[in-house]
Structure 1
Amino acid sequence: MEQSNIEDLLRQMTLEEKIGQLTQITGDFYSDKAEDRTGPMSQLGLDDEQITNVGTVLGVVGASECRRIQRQYMERNRLHIPTMFMGDVIHGYETIFPIPLGLASSWDTDAFEEMARVSAEEASVSGLSAVFSPMVDLVRDPRWGRVMESTGEDPFLNGKFASAMVTGYQGEPGELQDHFNKVAACVKHFAAYGAVTGGRDYNTVDMSEQRLRDVYLRGYHAAIEAGARLVMTSFNTVGGIPATGNRHLMQDILRDEFGFDGVLISDFGAVKELISHGVAADESQAASLSIHAGVDIEMMTLCYMHTLEALVTSGAVDERLIDESVLRILRLKNELGLFEHPFRGADEAREKEIVFSTSHRATARRITAESLVLLRNNDATLPLKASQSIALLGPAAQSPDILGAWSWRGRTDRAVTLMQGLRKFASADGESMRSHVKTTEERCDYFVPTESVIAASVELAKHADVVILALGELSTMSGEAASRSNIHLPKGQIALFDAVHKVNPHIVVVLFNGRPLDLSGIEAADAILEAWYPGTEGGAAIADVLFGAVNPSGKVTMSFPESVGQIPVFYDEDNTGRPYEQAPNEKYVSKYLDVSNYAAYPFGFGLSYSHFSYGSPVVSVSGNGFSAEHPAIIRVSITNDSEVDGVEIAQLYVRDLVGEVVRPVKQLKGFQRVALAAGETREIEFELDEKDVRYVHLDDSMRSDPGDFLVWVAGNSRDLSNPIRLHLE
């Protein structure tokens, strides 16, 4: 449809019809069974006539149902405007990939793009036009349950992954209208939701404007620059104002500065929650605050529908604000091709072929193996040998609960468990692994293993060459509304570990969890493999890594604390006036008395079955030196000085030694996945541009400061050596 036709359509709409377009409800209201509609309609205060004007639908499942609802909707809608279906596709539709925090450990933007592409294919053929992903909330507090949806603690990496996901979902600019295997991406949650006080969900966010812009907004900006067509507001306050009613955040920054011209949607119920926050006295004031902030769609509350018409009549709200929002929604529907093709990609026959296909599962297995992180491997315990007898123990040994809390359409009954993955992994002579992998008949509880389970586990461990102990969190222990003050493994799991270790010290721990954990209590493990919630093919991918068919290459993107008392502990902290490193034996420096300043497993850390060594970096600059016109080229040689082919993730860190605003002690500015054959040496190259060292100053401008910088290339954020000094003219 031409732009002029969209504007003409808007002119034909009544105010009531316009307000309907600004409302989103769930698919329950469109059930073909009257008795199923009655309860939700009564609870929300909706009638059939209002439903015919509601512009978007949340959470409908399947091509057949989407086609049915769309057909009936357009028959009843006076202007035959199509509705639009949206859903929570976070890290897969039915083919579930690792949680984003796990996927980030691959440090592979192509993997993110491929995950999003597969998700878009499955979601679109099942009737969805938009997905609520990527989540771009920077997180530095693992107590927050929704850290599982994030990509970690670093703004640079966060932005790279966000951009890749947007491209995977939407394709290149213009593809949404012509390629119905694409979906619109919705960036969430704007803004700074990951910085909630105390790591407690829905809580307050309080920080300086400089910190907000310099650290927390970068990822959202990257996603918007990649072309994301929707943004979702966050539940939290920013600067004392809830985001959903925050005009400065949504209009001044998102619209005016970032240039976002797409659709802004509230999170579930967030408009009405302005009343609970205490900034609105009633639905009318909540609606006024939200529409003036530029919120186009109210999700699952009816403040707009109940009060906007009266607000326009009284003059409190200019109808032009509503027109602007409706026009953005109609433009998005047009971008998706819905006016010409209201059913878009929804196709029952293709749905059966594409969703959870063999090729998609193979992709998930390959990407999952990249996301696993080897945290410890004493005495080269891993990889295992097929000839070894294995006792597979612990609560996650046979559990299909490996998809994570936000796998909306994922089915645990189709997930490959760790036991299944190990037993399907063929030994060298083709013999089934079943005879080599034994486990207890009684399932082990996550919190309090029974005495009989512990006794049976001990007995199996006595006679095994190696014990694989599968520990971690239930999926309900992380995700939305799943904040935890204690991020240790449950005491019952530590008791199981201790009992088994007494009879067999050769323990490989495989962790299933949605956040970095305090791993004290399992220090005696020979090896620790962080598997996260690995998704549909989790068990198969873990087996690939445990037995060496895949050499682990993952590295964590969020630091694991030594103690919960350190939180937040992150790699790019600001320097202090009394830095611990300059006088570690002094009392009056910035340190703890009872624990170190450092993470147990820092940002960028992860082991391999290979060993990599770095040469000293060399810098070259053309012209008169490092400047806006002349980037610095940093070259370094990396050697795989082992007998195993592997992939190393080389990381470029920079420190600005003197700035107008205190700068972090180091910041990631580049990374590369480098595949090296056994014994191979290769020189890699990074380009550091002047714009890479810009930051937000006190006047909100983004610029660099001339002066000296330190530059490192290393395998993680902790083990930095041989810095080179670089001067910015």
Structure 2
Amino acid sequence: MVGCNQADNQAVAEQEVPQSKPVAMEHNIDIWPELNLPVKKDPEIERKISEYLAKMTLEQKVAQMIQPEIRDITVADMRKYGFGSYLNGGGSFPNNDKHSTPDDWINLAEAMYQASMDDSEDGIAIPTMWGTDAVHGHNNVIGATLFPHNIGLGAANNPELLEQIAAITATEVMVTGIDWVFAPTVAVVRDDRWGRTYEGYSEDPEIVREYSAAIVRGLQGAAEKDFLGDSRVISTVKHFVGDGGTENGDDQGNNLASEQELYDIHAQGYVGGLSAGSQSVMASFNSWHGEKNHGNKYLLTDVLKDKMGFDGFVVGDWNGHGQIPGCTNDNCSQTINAGLDIFMVPTDAWKPLYENTIAQVKSGEIPMSRIDDAVSRILRVKLRAGLFEKPSPANRPVSGKLELIGAAEHRAVARQAVRESLVLLKNKGNVLPLNPTQKILMAGDGADNIGKQSGGWTITWQGTGNTNEDFPGGTSIYAGFEKAVKAAGGDIELAADGNYKVKPDVAVVVFGEEPYAEGIGDIDNLEYQRGNKKDLALLKKLKAEGIPVVSVFISGRPMWVNAELNASDAFVAAWLPGSEGQGIADVLLTNEKGKVQHDFVGKLSFSWPKSANQATVNRNDEDYAPLLPYGFGLQYGDDNVLADDLDETVTKSADADQPLVLFEHAAKAPWALTMMSGTEVSLVNSSVVELGSIKLQTMDKDVQEDARTITFAGNDKAMVALRGNFVEDLRRYSENQSAITLLVRKDQEFSDKVYLEMHCDEEGCQTRVDITEKMAGFTIDEWQVLSVDLKCFTDQGLNIARTTLPFGISTSGSGIVSFADIKLAPNKASTALISCQ
């Protein structure tokens, strides 16, 4: 996660993500350091742990290792089982109400705590912990202070400010009675196509290591002073390890770094965070050389616990254990044996997981010593945090002090963070700073949009569906300008589309990426508004009218914006500034006398690309040649370095003409084979699967089980499909005139129409092409190529940038067909069996 990956809310619940085969590799434990951790084992705490272990039943111990989600358990469940912890995922609220008040949060925390301390059913009283994703402030709670996302804070390069931000976040979290925060994210992002780029502080480990320590100190308090005190929370450094270095920037993908690189680049945030005393570590969804980290004993136990000396607990990510080959969401001994201490198990899978884990301990599949070690770690953290002695959540010193949620002094720090995070990329003719006595036009759809400027992990998981009314106390970028301009006696007009009533002296255009979070945010190149350059058109319109243009770019990553830079007199990278948009006016506007209020101090902590395909340009690369380098950032009076003639040519990536293999012997990651019959959907997880009106089984075409045979009974609409947990950006294949191609063998004629389907995640985006006539012309029992131009789907409204189902074959009739070798093949559209060119 930064938190919690809500993948089970996508097409398929409990989906195992197909994995590349782990590559056997030699490890070198000497690469990893022995850390001098500041929080030492306390003999009195260790004695108490031993006493608890001696009297706990197996059931009570396993309950400590289960972390359900608030949508999937009740207070009665907590009383019966005594879970060691629980969480709310992104976009999850008490009473399932987005507008739950802080009192609602406190009431749920209190009820869960009291249930955990009630030993009438589970036979023991051990306080539970509530974990939450507070990743740029207490971002699930309406009215909380929202700080810039990590990418902006990285540009500020101010560890003292970061510690202050973390302390404020801890206070606002404690107001709602919550004990534990899933932060900081210490990913070192090496490929900016990754949808979680904005959760990283930098492409370089230097800032990340320092920031990690600062945030842990801010959240937990310094180890030697106020450690886990009344306004502090338990921190989590995450995600261990290498999530920022996956191939092609694929979320939850495969990291192929050497072990030395894994330590030197991706592990430095753990060196910083653990050295500051962080008490929990979250395992990562990604794989390292094909082995899922949730099941990697070498990393979780040998490296993290034994060599680095970490004695807190390791928590899983959102059903991450279910992605280990051989595991499901409700059954996975491998991850416990590898070193995971707490299953994060949202959905109703928690109950069978609890029962299966107990059975696996009884059978010896999981050693009792491993259970005792996990529970010892959980209890150690709870005892260090004082949870056994502190009052209940509703009665803690900070709890219920609602005036602290979004307090003015908290917002002032967030406003400072906005100012320090801004990076000035272009300033031709010193158009900036602007005098507020001018006539200023505010344009662009981000000008008066707090949700857009705050990005993902903002109230909702993806940060979508919010309006300015959802941010009481917050300020849009326009509102900040309006206040300053009116105070100075100037004129300001808001016109998102640029159609002003009075011609302005200057236009400030605020535009950029729409909010997104993990998975959904993955893209396949860095071109901004690829295929729909509406913001560029706005900039050019204003320029053509003789108006100087200042661009304020909202984004979760550096993007290829050469055309937008050319059309701008000044260009500011504002990242995702959060709820305090007036911080931008503080820097861009002088006072009424023309004096600079705040100069730019932000510097790029991510290199800025010179082409759409330059997604992996990172500081210290041998062939380092970005448009703007790491550390770049103008101040007022500096010479401008960017002319108006940057190359706007869109170049193809090196692999642009390579086919995308969707199925070859088996489904290729991130896709998985599924079946649908009527309204039922099932994952294909064995060689023969039947569901309602459909049956799927493996068959041998050239080698063992390299193809599949579908038998449609004709009782209902049925389909076999490849589905993913997240949307995938497949635009390069429509741009390259691709076709979807597969080998098919008709084994029995169809009694009704048969279709090839592609879906995206938008409403009404389930497109299909009728292949009945072509199938009818195929010879029975003969393998033949079926190919369909992708334009046939996009012409029907498929948003191929947001594909969730790249292949499906469906019918309401009966028939039998076998298939193999499914791919998207570039430059095959015009010659496809069904072409729409």
* Match of residue 466 from structure 1: 506
Query: Is the 2:110–2:392 Cα contact (8 Å) retained in structure 1?
Result: yes
Match among 119, 133, 143 for residue 193 of structure 2: 143
Instruction: Show the 5 A alignment for 1:520-535.
Output: 520-522=562-564, 523-535=566-578
Aligned to 1:28, the other structure's residue is in SS state: coil
Distance in 1 separating the partners of 2:74 and 2:332: 28
* Match of residue 419 from structure 1: 478
Instruction: Show the 5 A alignment for 1:258-297.
Output: 258-274=308-324, 279-280=325-326, 287-297=332-342
Query: Is the 1:176–1:336 Cα contact (8 Å) retained in structure 2?
Result: no
Distance in 1 separating the partners of 2:228 and 2:294: 33
Shift of 1:466: 0.7
Query: Is the 2:53–2:372 Cα contact (8 Å) retained in structure 1?
Result: yes
* Match of residue 484 from structure 1: 523
Q: Does 1:404 align with 2:455?
A: yes
Distance in 2 separating the partners of 1:288 and 1:559: 42
Distance in 1 separating the partners of 2:78 and 2:87: 19
Instruction: Show the 5 A alignment for 1:74-89.
Output: 74-76=117-119, 77-89=122-134
Match among 359, 372, 376 for residue 323 of structure 1: 372
* Match of residue 556 from structure 1: 604
When residues 249 and 555 of structure 1 are mapped into structure 2, their CA distance, relative to the original with a 3 A threshold, is same
* Match of residue 437 from structure 1: 492
Question: Could you list the per-position Cα deviations for residues 136-166 of structure 1 after superposition, in whole angstroms to 9, with x for gaps in the alignment?
Answer: 0100211111111110111111101111111
Question: Could you list the per-position Cα deviations for residues 61-119 of structure 1 after superposition, in whole angstroms to 9, with x for gaps in the alignment?
Answer: 62232112212332244211110011001111121110011011111001111110100
Query: Is the 2:78–2:115 Cα contact (8 Å) retained in structure 1?
Result: no
Distance in 2 separating the partners of 1:334 and 1:252: 25
Shift of 1:481: 3.0
* Match of residue 700 from structure 2: none
Aligned residues: 552
Distance in 2 separating the partners of 1:2 and 1:242: 33
When residues 283 and 104 of structure 1 are mapped into structure 2, their CA distance, relative to the original with a 3 A threshold, is closer
Aligned residue identity for 2:125: H
Shift of 1:346: 4.5
Distance in 2 separating the partners of 1:530 and 1:567: 17
* Match of residue 203 from structure 1: 253
Aligned to 1:521, the other structure's residue is in SS state: helix
Match among 362, 383, 408 for residue 358 of structure 1: 408
Query: Is the 1:19–1:304 Cα contact (8 Å) retained in structure 2?
Result: no
Q: Which moved more, 1:360-369 or 1:298-307?
A: 298-307
Query: Is the 2:442–2:507 Cα contact (8 Å) retained in structure 1?
Result: yes
Query: Is the 2:607–2:626 Cα contact (8 Å) retained in structure 1?
Result: yes
Query: Is the 2:525–2:615 Cα contact (8 Å) retained in structure 1?
Result: no
Question: Could you list the per-position Cα deviations for residues 433-490 of structure 1 after superposition, in whole angstroms to 9, with x for gaps in the alignment?
Answer: 5xx11122xxx4xxxxxxxx46x25x65xx21111111101113x5453111243332
* Match of residue 341 from structure 1: 390
Query: Is the 1:377–1:527 Cα contact (8 Å) retained in structure 2?
Result: yes
Instruction: Show the 5 A alignment for 1:179-198.
Output: 179-198=229-248
What are the ranges of 5 or more consecutive residues in structure 1 without an aligned counterpart? 33-46, 445-452, 576-589, 591-596, 613-729
Aligned residue identity for 1:418: I
Distance in 2 separating the partners of 1:281 and 1:539: 49
Distance in 1 separating the partners of 2:494 and 2:484: 16
Shift of 1:514: 1.0
* Match of residue 155 from structure 1: 205
Shift of 1:396: 0.7
Shift of 1:287: 2.3
Query: Is the 2:176–2:399 Cα contact (8 Å) retained in structure 1?
Result: no
Match among 610, 613, 632 for residue 565 of structure 1: 613
* Match of residue 63 from structure 1: 106
- Structure with greater proportional helix content: 1
Question: Could you list the per-position Cα deviations for residues 480-528 of structure 1 after superposition, in whole angstroms to 9, with x for gaps in the alignment?
Answer: 5311124333211111112221112510000111111111211231111
Distance in 2 separating the partners of 1:209 and 1:173: 30
Aligned to 1:509, the other structure's residue is in SS state: strand
Distance in 1 separating the partners of 2:284 and 2:115: 33
Aligned to 2:562, the other structure's residue is in SS state: coil
Distance in 2 separating the partners of 1:142 and 1:438: 35
Match among 514, 519, 522 for residue 561 of structure 2: 519
Aligned to 1:121, the other structure's residue is in SS state: helix
Shift of 1:328: 0.6
Shift of 1:408: 4.1
Taking structure 1 as the reference length, the TM-score comes to 0.72
Shift of 1:400: 1.7
Distance in 2 separating the partners of 1:128 and 1:568: 38
Aligned to 1:437, the other structure's residue is in SS state: strand
Aligned residue identity for 2:326: A
Shift of 1:359: 0.9
Aligned residue identity for 1:292: N
Shift of 1:425: 1.0
Distance in 2 separating the partners of 1:514 and 1:601: 17
Aligned residue identity for 1:542: A
* Match of residue 98 from structure 2: none
Shift of 1:326: 0.5
Instruction: Show the 5 A alignment for 1:37-186.
Output: 48=77, 52-59=81-88, 62-76=105-119, 77-93=122-138, 94-173=144-223, 179-186=229-236
Shift of 1:304: 4.5
Distance in 1 separating the partners of 2:302 and 2:483: 56
Query: Is the 1:64–1:346 Cα contact (8 Å) retained in structure 2?
Result: no
When residues 281 and 384 of structure 1 are mapped into structure 2, their CA distance, relative to the original with a 3 A threshold, is closer
When residues 437 and 107 of structure 1 are mapped into structure 2, their CA distance, relative to the original with a 3 A threshold, is same
Aligned residue identity for 1:280: G
Match among 489, 492, 496 for residue 538 of structure 2: 496
Q: Does 1:16 align with 2:45?
A: no
Shift of 1:336: 1.2
Shift of 1:7: 1.5
What are the ranges of 5 or more consecutive residues in structure 2 without an aligned counterpart? 1-43, 95-104, 139-143, 464-469, 591-595, 640-837
Question: Could you list the per-position Cα deviations for residues 548-599 of structure 1 after superposition, in whole angstroms to 9, with x for gaps in the alignment?
Answer: 32111001101110112222111211x3xxxxxxxxxxxxxx7xxxxxx621
Aligned residue identity for 1:504: G
Question: Could you list the per-position Cα deviations for residues 593-640 of structure 1 after superposition, in whole angstroms to 9, with x for gaps in the alignment?
Answer: xxxx6212211111111559xxxxxxxxxxxxxxxxxxxxxxxxxxxx
Q: Which moved more, 1:545-554 or 1:373-382?
A: 545-554
Query: Is the 2:136–2:147 Cα contact (8 Å) retained in structure 1?
Result: yes
Two-structure CA RMSD over aligned residues (Å): 2.3
